[in-house]
Amino acid sequence: MLTVSVKWQKEVFKAVEIDTSQPPYVFKCQLYDLTGVPPERQKIMVKGGLLKDDADWSTVGVKQGQKLMMMGTADEIVKAPEKGPVFMEDLPEEEQVVSLGHSAGLFNLGNTCYMNSTVQCLHSVPELKSALTKYSHSVRSNDLDQTSHMLTVATRDLFNELDKSVKPVAPMQFWMVLRKKYPQFGQLHNGVFMQQDAEECWTQLLYTLSQSLRSPGSSENLDAVKDLFGIELASSIHCQESGEESSETESVYSLKCHISQEVNHLHEGLKHGLKSELEKASPALGRSATYLKESRINGLPRYLTIQFVRFFWKRESNQKAKILRKVDYPLELDVYDLCSDELHKQLEGPRQLLRDEEGKKLGLKANEKSRSSKDDDFKMTDAEGFIKCNWRIIWDYISRRDSR
Amino acid sequence: MSDPKSGAGTFQTKAPTKEPEKKDEEHLSEEDLALKQQLELYVERIQDPDPGLQKVALESVRHEIRTSTSSMTSVPKPLKFLGPHYGTLKAFYETMPESDLKKYLADILSVLALTMSAEGERESLKYRLLGSEGDIGSWGHEYVRNLAGEIAEEFMKQQSEEAPIEDLTELVRQIVSFHMKHNAEPEAVDLLMEVDDLELLVQDVDNTNFKRTCLYLTSTARYLPGPDDMLALDIAYTLYLKFAEFANALQIALFLDKMQYVSQVFTSCDNLLRKKQFCYILARHGITFELDDEMAAEDDDREVLQDIINNIKLSESYLILARDIEVVEPKSPEDIYKAYLLDGRASAGASVDSARQNLAATFVNAFVNAGFGQDKLMTIPSDSSSGASSGNWLFKNKEHGKTSAAASLGMILLWDVDSGLAQIDKYLHSNDKHVIAGALLGVGIVNCGVKNHCDPALALLSEYIGNEDSSIQIAAIMGLGIAYAGAQNEQICSSLTPLLNNARTPLDVISFTAISLGLIYVGSCNEEVAQAIIFAVKYRSESELGEPLTRLLPLGLGLLYLGKQESVEATAEVSKTFNEKIRKYCDMTLLSCAYAGTGNVLKVQNLLGHCAQHLEKGESHQGPAVLGIAMVAMAEELGLEMSIRSLEHLLQYGEQNIRRAVPLALGLLCISNPKVNVMDTLSRLSHDTDSEVAMAAVISLGLIGAGTNNARIAGMLRNLSSYYYKDASLLFCVRVAQGLVHLGKGLLTLNPYHSDRFLLSPTALAGLVTMLHACLDMKAIVLGKYHFVLYFLVLAMQPRMLMTVDENLKPLPVQVRVGQAVDVVGQAGRPKTITSFQTHSTPILLASGDRAELATEKYIPLSPILEGHVILIENPEYREDS
């Protein structure tokens, strides 16, 4: 009969007796009583080896008073969950891409980056997509020419393809139709297609779409493109010499950011772009005079397009030159101060709501106490639609153009 | 470092040139003029035939010279005025008959020769030997220094010409004892080293100067060639032992890696508390050492001491430190990634689990919570909510990923064998082979650096060595290697070596077996193991030699000779017979391992030479050569700076395979020591167009910042994580690096150097080198299915703390000053050893290059270097300020 001490986790059981005439299994059963670990889960370390159930005590060589160590727990054995997680690496390549949040790309068909970036920008406008899907293939309104129709159809098909595919798409058909409609994009230089201006492509394409997506028959307010991209400008024209004043309104598809020496920020450029001088015949003076035209935004679209006017015409050398000046732009653009008084009034309510909402986020308390939440929601979306233009699209447009 | 020759050189201001002398004569003051005439009179008298007059004259001259005092920068007046007569006196000396007077004159000539003798003539020495051999110090300090310089020259000449050696010993002895008495220990040591007779030093060392002497000896040893350095350290050891500075003696014994010296320290000291301190030093060094009856007579005492060496309480101390610094709270990988600090895209998590990113999170979690015993992924108590047990995270890893996940439990419970084994146990019963493998590896990791008398790791793991599944086999073998690194356990050796020679063992098992054997027998030069590995290399087929994992075979061989310099030569010869494909690779690995941590400049040049070649056949030996530069040069600060610069050059002119290794080499050189210039280089490389260079740079950013929580590196890595968010492999590396930077929440270090950068822990270095070699082929090994090689880093993980304990080994908070270490070798007086310090209360963390000293006189530390565990005893002479 030997007595040993057994260490189990942080506990020590002193003076555990071993009956050396019995197999070690009996000893393990003793330990089961002490620790609650079933014998088959017990591991007892003896001199760098494990004690086997059927070993012979005499060969194991346990001494009186020796310290043994036991390992083992009564814990439940870990089982794999029945439904293991699905790993991204196991998914087919297509789905992997989607799960990362990328959309399909476009092949460059030879200096067609201007077109690809334009298409990608437009493609990310869901409203335009839905408007296009409604456009029927066969029915062509009478006042639309054949090529415009084809271009619209091609745009629709290309968008569809981009949505379905996860692999890059080659926009062959679209390009062909685009060249047909606007032959200037087909210009060759040394046998290859020339570089083109994305702004031009954007303007032309939007023009075409606005023509074709106008709902025939109904009132012209239902111009989808104008709804999404059109900017209402109210301008006052003032002649300093004669003091004549007149005002006019117009609708444009983009705001211009003029880049001059003093423009460091997008906002300054925009302000700059809304002021212009023009020469026209002054009825009062009976000759042409310089007029100052100041425009303000009278209606904001859902998606605000801004063109950085980086090209200018060098008179001395008769060449196009690029202005490389760095112009900062914010990730969230507020054009409130470019708006007309009329629009200000419209915007004030929603803006206040937005501010309160922001304030709430920052932990400030709103001034108004009780308002029906429904009302709130409605106005919120309204406000957001008005002011927070989808800035990313335009940003993408710029970055792609510049990284060409 | 002062050199006798240059010391003498300062005094070789020969007599002023003629021109100014004439001018001087015109402006001589009356006093000087009188002295000059007086001396001239003496010179005449010396040449007088009357011995009586001669004697008086000689005595007077002698008196004049000895009493003359002057600043160090100008020649004393008597010497100056006697100068012109040097020739006459010399000529007269030759004519004199042998007598006492002649010897007197020789003495004076010897002194005059100090300024007058032509360079290289060594007349001062010549006349000194002919002179009366009286008290050497009576002629002043400069005279002695000049003599020492001439002796060194003479000795060199005698050696090179093999001329009969004139007996300089007596003179040397005189000079040495003069120097030792006058606080000029470096000069004495330098002179003795010049004449190859360091033993002479011992008799002149006493209580007042042994510390400075030993300090000088130990620090010069780094710059000495060949056997001289060992000799210098040997002397230092003897001196420390003689003056009962046992802790210092022990450190030198460990540096020399002489176990009999270590035993001698134990037997020479009879103070139990001091012995406990020795055990703490041994434990930090990470070597296996068994105490016997002679070293500690009482059984109980021996058990206590052995427990300290075995690091039984390391986990406890570490947790005390963690509590004191208030970092016990577990951290999740998200706390480390800090994705909310990044704007936009990267923070938007993918909706689907990525196996690779989950694996990265597993590693980050393991590194960050290492040793804390709790985390947020693996150790959630199973009863927290039904089913939501730790198994959940485990099974979020795929296949071999589960191995690393299960093994991470070992890392989290590092050093805490009791609860570690209890928690890992349940995974051993799993029916998934990857989980079992991970559990086995975890058992090895838990036991890293901790020895238990029951050897649980050996008992458990040896059961699985012969398992039919190779992934289980590999994990068990690697676990053994980690748990028993440096133990030289024969039982393991005898069960592992047969695997190497078995033709049916798969290549990956063989590779890991070689590494484990290398770790277990690190620096032992064990013949038997070396033979087994050589055999394994020789019988690889041509195609197997091309496999990425084969690189571990030569490394295993190299580890056997880690830091053992020439002992590797026999094996290096054998390696020349290997297949051409691996021959050079093996050569480089052996060379770099053998000279690792020696700072041997010649070997660095040799390795640089290999890197300068432009290869055409696509050989791969330049990778280990680049790592080798870092391994050899990391020994001391100067060499380290130089090699950082050389590596920059390699980066510019080297081929791609070199450029891939350079970041890793930089990582090793500055491990856990984020130097700003290296950080910038690595940051630049982390955007390299070659993705493997970038990956290595990213991992190395983690290595240099390991355990520092360095905010700048953390920021860089965060930006990299958004830069590489599309590239799964690079993102994995970034994550691992982020985990490393926050290793142990900033309480751990990977630096293998400790004790004021004096000692190099062989096991720690072995672990680092193994991991780095595996990183040489990142794509196949770390990014393949052998990512658990990252766990080799555990060998180098140590708390970077200073924990002061009382006589019962309980933590004792005291005020300490912590600051930048200052090199005080060879400085006069009692210079401050730290600068720009702050006062804290222990336990504290020490950054690299930091040194601590007690801010109170109340206690006396038993270790000269305040690092790790230090026992304090009360100062009996301390009086409380009233």
**B451 vs A49: CA distance, rounded Å:** 15
Does A7 touch chain B if contact means CB atoms closer than 8 Å?
yes
Contact between A9 and B382 using a beta-carbon 8 Å cutoff: no
**Six-digit token string for B563:** 């830091």
- Report, as an integer, the average pLDDT of B34-43: 82
| The pLDDT of residue A95 | 64
pLDDT category of residue B683 using cuts at 50, 70 and 90: very high
- Report, as an integer, the average pLDDT of B701-717: 95
Per residue in B189-235, pLDDT (tens digit) is 888 888 877 888 888 888 888 888 898 998 888 888 878 888 899 99
For residue A397, pLDDT over 50 is answered with no
Does A252 touch chain B if contact means CB atoms closer than 8 Å?
no
For residue B44, pLDDT over 70 is answered with yes
Residues 6+ apart with CB under 8 A from B436: B427, B428, B430, B464, B472, B475
**A194 vs A187: CA distance, rounded Å:** 6
**B872 vs B876: CA distance, rounded Å:** 12
| The pLDDT of residue B819 | 92
- Report, as an integer, the average pLDDT of B1-15: 42
Does A41 touch chain B if contact means CB atoms closer than 8 Å?
yes
Strands A67-71 and A2-8: parallel
For residue B41, pLDDT over 90 is answered with no
Other CB atoms within 10 A of residue B765 CB: 28
Q: Which of B391, B398, B456 sits opposite A78 (nearest CB)?
A: B391
Q: Which residues of A touch B426 (CB under 8 A)?
A: 73, 75-78
Judge whether B763 and B795 are in contact, CB under 8 Å: yes
| The pLDDT of residue B747 | 94
| The pLDDT of residue B786 | 93
Q: Which residues of B touch A76 (CB under 8 A)?
A: 382, 389, 426
- Report, as an integer, the average pLDDT of B436-460: 91
| The pLDDT of residue B529 | 94
**B739 vs A164: CA distance, rounded Å:** 40
Does A15 touch chain B if contact means CB atoms closer than 8 Å?
no
Residues 6+ apart with CB under 8 A from A362: none
Does B350 touch chain A if contact means CB atoms closer than 8 Å?
yes
Per residue in B539-569, pLDDT (tens digit) is 888 888 888 899 999 999 999 999 998 899 9
pLDDT category of residue B163 using cuts at 50, 70 and 90: low
**B775 vs B729: CA distance, rounded Å:** 13
pLDDT category of residue B331 using cuts at 50, 70 and 90: very high
For residue B358, pLDDT over 60 is answered with yes
Residue ranges in B310-386 assigned as alpha helix (H): 314-325, 333-337, 355-368
Per residue in B857-867, pLDDT (tens digit) is 899 999 999 99
- Report, as an integer, the average pLDDT of A154-166: 84
Cα A375–A376–A379 angle (5° rounding)?
85
Per residue in B249-278, pLDDT (tens digit) is 999 999 999 999 999 999 998 889 999 999
Q: Which of A45, A48, A89 sits opposite B356 (nearest CB)?
A: A89
pLDDT category of residue A222 using cuts at 50, 70 and 90: low
Which is more confidently placed, B473 or A397? B473
Which is more confidently placed, B112 or B764? B764
**What's the pTM value of the predicted model, to 2 decimals?**
0.77
Q: What percent of chain A has pLDDT over 90?
A: 0
**Six-digit token string for B500:** 């190497």
Judge whether B822 and B841 are in contact, CB under 8 Å: no
- Report, as an integer, the average pLDDT of B126-140: 74
pLDDT category of residue B70 using cuts at 50, 70 and 90: low
Q: What percent of chain B has pLDDT over 70?
A: 92
Strands A192-193 and A43-46: unpaired
Which is more confidently placed, B736 or B75? B736
**Report for A13-22, B249-258, B447-456: range of highest mean pLDDT:** B249-258
For residue B411, pLDDT over 50 is answered with yes
Q: Write out the CATH class of domain A2-71.
A: alpha beta
**B601 vs B824: CA distance, rounded Å:** 24
Judge whether B877 and B835 are in contact, CB under 8 Å: no
Per residue in A291-331, pLDDT (tens digit) is 888 888 888 888 888 888 877 777 788 777 878 888 887 77
Q: Which of B355, B452, B459 sits opposite A49 (nearest CB)?
A: B459
Length of chain B: 882
CATH 3.10.20.90 in chain A is located at 2-71
Contact between A78 and B459 using a beta-carbon 8 Å cutoff: no
Q: Which stretch of A392-396, B502-506, B658-662 has the lowest confidence by average pLDDT?
A: A392-396
Nearest CA in chain A to B358: A87
Contact between A72 and B353 using a beta-carbon 8 Å cutoff: no
Q: What is the mean pLDDT of chain A?
A: 76
Other CB atoms within 10 A of residue B684 CB: 11
Q: What percent of chain B has pLDDT over 90?
A: 49
Which is more confidently placed, B277 or B126? B277
Kindly tell me the burial class for residue B120, based on how many C-beta atoms sit within 10 Å of its own C-beta (0-12, 13-18, 19 or more): exposed
Q: Which residues of B touch A68 (CB under 8 A)?
A: 454
Which is more confidently placed, B254 or B166? B254
| The pLDDT of residue B636 | 85
pLDDT category of residue B16 using cuts at 50, 70 and 90: very low
Q: Which residues of B touch A97 (CB under 8 A)?
A: none
| The pLDDT of residue A390 | 38
| The pLDDT of residue B274 | 92
Per residue in A90-149, pLDDT (tens digit) is 776 666 655 555 667 888 888 888 888 888 888 878 888 888 887 776 666 666 788 888
Q: Which of A9, A45, A85 sits opposite B422 (nearest CB)?
A: A9
Q: Which stretch of A312-326, B304-318, B637-651 has the lowest confidence by average pLDDT?
A: A312-326
- Report, as an integer, the average pLDDT of B668-697: 94
- Report, as an integer, the average pLDDT of B149-178: 77
For residue A393, pLDDT over 60 is answered with no
| The pLDDT of residue B343 | 65
For residue A375, pLDDT over 70 is answered with no
Judge whether B257 and B561 are in contact, CB under 8 Å: no
| The pLDDT of residue B224 | 84
Q: What is the mean pLDDT of chain B?
A: 86
Other CB atoms within 10 A of residue A167 CB: 10
pLDDT category of residue A159 using cuts at 50, 70 and 90: confident
For residue B774, pLDDT over 70 is answered with yes
pLDDT category of residue B75 using cuts at 50, 70 and 90: low
For residue B140, pLDDT over 80 is answered with no
| Closest CA relative to residue B95, chosen from B132, B48, B151, B32 | B48
Does A50 touch chain B if contact means CB atoms closer than 8 Å?
yes
Q: How many CB pairs under 8 A join A and B?
A: 103
Contact between A71 and B426 using a beta-carbon 8 Å cutoff: no
| The pLDDT of residue A334 | 80
Per residue in B629-638, pLDDT (tens digit) is 999 999 888 8
**B430 vs B292: CA distance, rounded Å:** 42
